[in-house]
Amino acid sequence: MTDIITITDLHKSFGTQKVLDGVNLKIEKGKITIIIGKSGTGKSVLLKNIIGILKPDSGHITYKGEDITTFNTDKILDMRRDFGYLFQDAALFDFMNVGENIAFPMVEQLEMANKKELAEKVAYLLDLIDLPGIENKLPSELSGGMRKRVGLARALAVDPKIILFDEPTTGLDPILADSIDKLIVKVTREMDLTSLIISHDIPSAFHIGDKIAFLYDGVIAFDGTPQEAEQSNHPVLQRFIANSLGRRAHA
């Protein structure tokens, strides 16, 4: 077992509001880690600290053995080349077609200029997400599930080592959500990626997650396998799971 990211005693406040109050978490290389928790508990703040958008008040985040909290701007930008992002709404550019959207990070970050190579990589990624031949479609012509898939293809375009997902199944019906889950597992396994997911979708999290981390009251109150989460005696976690599954929590 190799941990690619280690978070130690991480604190972050905004004025008098304490959001992260001593977070400890290890992200294992090649696995799917899912951070769950109620709205407003700081899941997105934690993700932003991990990629250096926010700087913690104290604590440490090591990536491949280096403490990124000590990085200057250039080193942060260099580190981010290892990360891909799938935003909640996919965040596609409306004025670009699918092919241009996927090629965008290759042109901007990798400075690829060869149109033939770009087209081949775009075609490969569209095959990977099971949407071949839609290069010329506009985002407005795509369903919500298709936009999520194209967003994932764009995130994969720079050959990242880690993919960050922000609520990847939000707004999708169960069939589409299941297809996105299967795709996340597929790319994680086939491309030897590490996936870190923020999610409110408990059935999805328990179905595909290798590790579940429950963020509550500023700390990781539980982390372990989905099976261990279900058997945990943490009362708030059990209520959260039960409510998310539409069941009455046991007294």
Residue 246's pLDDT band (cuts 50, 70, 90) = low
- What percent of the chain has pLDDT above 90? 71
Q: Where are the domains of the chain?
A: 1-82+160-167+194-225
pLDDT (tens digit per residue) in 193-233:
999 999 988 888 999 999 999 999 999 999 999 999 989 98
User: What's this model's pTM, rounded to 2 decimal places?
Assistant: 0.88
Q: What is the CATH number of domain 1-82+160-167+194-225?
A: 3.40.50.300
* In contact, 241 and 36? CB cutoff 8 Å: no
